Amino acid sequence: MTATLLDGRSAAEEILGAIVGEVSRLDRPPHLAILRVGENEASRCYVERKCATAKRIGIRTTSRVLTASANLEEIIGQIDRWNGDSGIHGILVQMPLPDSAMHGAVFDAIDPKKDVDGFNPHNFGLLAQGRGGGFVPCTPNGIVHLLRRYGIATSGRHVVVIGRSTIVGRPLSLLLQSRGMDATVTQCHSKSENLREIAKSGHILISAAGSPGLVGGDWIGDGAVVVDVGQNFIADPSAPSGKRLVGDVDFAAALDRCSYVTPVPGGVGPLTVAMLMKNVLMARIANGC
Ligand SMILES: NC(=O)c1ccc[n+]([C@@H]2O[C@H](COP(=O)([O-])OP(=O)(O)OC[C@H]3O[C@@H](n4cnc5c(N)ncnc54)[C@H](OP(=O)(O)O)[C@@H]3O)[C@@H](O)[C@H]2O)c1
The span from the CA of 151 to the CA of 142, in Å, is: 14
pLDDT of residue 229: 98
- CA–centroid distance, 169 to ligand 1, in Å, is 7
Domain at 137-270, CATH from 3.40.190.10, 3.60.21.10, 3.40.50.720, 3.55.40.20 = 3.40.50.720
Task: Convert the pLDDT of each residue in 210-226 to its tens digit.
Answer: 999 999 999 999 999 99
Taking CA atoms, 227 is separated from 59, 195, 224, 249, in Å, by 29, 16, 10, 9
| Ligand 1 atom 47: residue of nearest CA | 231
Is the fold of 27-126 the same as that of 137-270? yes
Model confidence at 288, pLDDT cuts 50, 70, 90, reads confident
Q: Which helix (H) or strand (E) holds 12?
A: helix 8-24
Domain spans, the chain: 27-126, 137-270
Q: May I ask the CATH class of domain 27-126?
A: alpha beta
Q: Which of 78, 111, 113, 117 is catalytic?
A: 117
Task: Convert the pLDDT of each residue in 21-53 to its tens digit.
Answer: 999 999 999 999 999 999 998 899 999 999 999
Does the pTM exceed 0.95? yes
The span from the CA of 275 to the CA of 54, in Å, is: 11
Does 117 participate in catalysis according to the annotation? Answer: yes
Does 50 participate in catalysis according to the annotation? Answer: yes
State the DSSP string of 120-146: SHHHHHHHHTT--SSPPPHHHHHHHHH
Residues with CB under 6 A from ligand 1: 139, 162-165, 167-169, 188-192, 195, 208-211, 214, 229-232, 268-269, 272
pLDDT of residue 287: 85
Model confidence at 289, pLDDT cuts 50, 70, 90, reads low
pLDDT of residue 206: 99
pLDDT at 89 over 70: yes
pLDDT of residue 179: 97
Task: Convert the pLDDT of each residue in 269-285 to its tens digit.
Answer: 999 999 999 999 999 99
